[in-house]
Chains A and B, each alone.
Chain A
């Protein structure tokens, strides 16, 4: 049905005329929950669950409350440290591994790849306990490495899937030429593979950043001490049984999402890089 609609539209009207209206209308519907979220964060608490999308007057009180009541800077610092650490490790390992699997085709990588992938699919609830036991035996409870290492371990396979797909997709001739030119594997990685997969790497980094920034379950069991807590642990005090303050909850979650939004908005334009490098390749 969709298909024929598409086709009919196409006959009568070139895509470029309806592209923007379609995007605009879709976006409008898509944004309803987001608008509601922002609007609740700006409401006085006694109007939090009014069913209108907007209410008047708006207030910044909720933001003031959550900033006043939480050492947000400490939490942000912790999150930033843990997240950057994880992203660096994940990107470094995943890109070299994907390179090895895809280009060098080292023996056994497929097996390793498959097993890594499989383990990813287990719900976190099943592995929380063994991870807690392990971290305790390493003495890593309430340490940064106690979060960075498991995050990285769980993030790497995911990253490999994405980077490898892009690596598989890049022209083999380039690598073959590099081999003929006498490039070492490392040179090939740096000068041939890296530029090709840059969009994927950026993507993986952003993705890992978002996931780590928002991760909750492991942070909960690893960081029990206030000075080490990450930002995701702060909102729960506003959503608890017996003490629900949705307006404050929405406010703090908006604050937490802002760095992600900025990062993403800043980085998404680098996806263009892929287009350019593709053109240069000829």
Chain B
């Protein structure tokens, strides 16, 4: 150990003195993403074992502001790595000019019918925001997610609560949780993405797919169903379903941490949250094998309405940059990430759901986790879209939701502001 440290120190010193030589015989593939390092290292190891002579160098960034800053700076100065992690829609669109279309690669690798193996929601999201007549895929999806409300089973049991079926149920469950010193439903409402997720759950139970049409300019944002969704959103705050002071709270690290510790009754997260059970060391007894947790979809928030359908889509995808297209080995790793050994490793860590059908997590997966996983996978094919094609619209929605929640803007006024931004963006 000591020797190792000394060696590290010496090599550190050596780095100070000599510029790093690039003369190693390993051919290198460079990857940037916000994907968890420990899991990515397992993926890389699996890939390198199958492909001797190739070396993958992974650079991790936090998503914001780190990753989007690094990506933009590298794109502006033409120093992007071979492969970059991206979300479909707005983020991919910002880098479209630096990316190469991937369909030819995919067809060559997996045959022409490869798209039939991709979950439909993922396929639909891949071309979101493309200019008309451009049907190229600039990223391929690695993982998909389904949004859901997670709840702490043990707390529910202790307080004699059941999964809420109606809005009245939800409000009374929240009240009971609060009365017993728990946070009812933790909402990190300072995070735009968490508000978007809940709003999309609501809007899609009132009228599936309506937000999609609204962001495409096909229906106005102040359609009655969306106004009603906005009111439901406001009520979640007014009726104390969300915790007090939610607007000043963040989902990560605070919310996720409190939830895992057993201080929170419910929280809107998604299928990716299962991975916490694999983190070393376990955060709490509740999270070991996920035995203390389960999930449900938001119950109907209006009289006689339906509960939320699954909402979701691509969690993370990867694009091949123009630099990467010059590296003949880069595609191999990308292929492995989205539909190969590297993906398998990520699934084994329960990172999220696959985008191609036919994969199952392997290794130490308990029956409880397996049944949750299977329920998510079963719901994924009918998931409604959660992504936005134009960042300005997503940003406008974030602000509108925060404004309505804080009571400074009426639902109608807030929706009108989104409409203005949408009109301007689509012009």
Q: Which residues of A contact B (CB under 8 A)?
A: 45-50, 61, 71, 73-74, 76-78, 81, 125, 128-129, 132-133, 135-137, 141, 143-144, 217, 220-221, 224-228, 236-237, 239-246, 249
Contacts and interface: CB of A to CB of B under 8 A. Distances in A.
Nearest to A218: B73
B81 to A, nearest CB: 8
Interface in B45-71: 57, 59-63, 65-66, 69-70
Given A136-B78, A220-B61, A241-B62, A129 B257 contact: no
A276 B72 CA distance: 52
A106 to B, nearest CB: 36
B8 A71 contact: yes
Contacts of A236: 60-62, 66
A136 to B, nearest CB: 4
Interface stretch (B88-96, B151-159, B275-283): B275-283
Interface residues of B, number: 49
A240 B74 contact: no
Interface stretch (B238-246, B248-256, B329-337, B372-380): B248-256
Interface string B4-24: 010011011101100110000
Contact of B252 (A220, A225, A241): A241
Contacts of A144: 16
A128 B73 contact: yes
Contact of A227 (B15, B78, B281, B284): B15
B257 A48 contact: yes
29 contacts: A45-B283, A46-B261, A49-B254, A50-B261, A74-B8, A74-B9, A77-B9, A125-B65, A129-B76, A132-B74, A132-B77, A136-B79, A217-B69, A220-B61, A224-B74, A226-B59, A227-B15, A236-B62, A237-B60, A240-B34, A240-B36, A242-B252, A242-B272, A242-B275, A244-B252, A244-B257, A245-B279, A246-B253, A246-B257
A220 B66 contact: yes
A240 B70 contact: no
B57 A226 contact: yes
B260 interface: yes
B69 A221 contact: yes
A135 B251 CA distance: 36
Given A49-B263, A228-B20, A236-B62, 10 more contacts: A74-B12, A77-B12, A77-B13, A125-B65, A135-B77, A217-B69, A224-B79, A226-B57, A239-B252, A244-B257
Contacts of A224: 32, 59, 70, 74, 79, 81
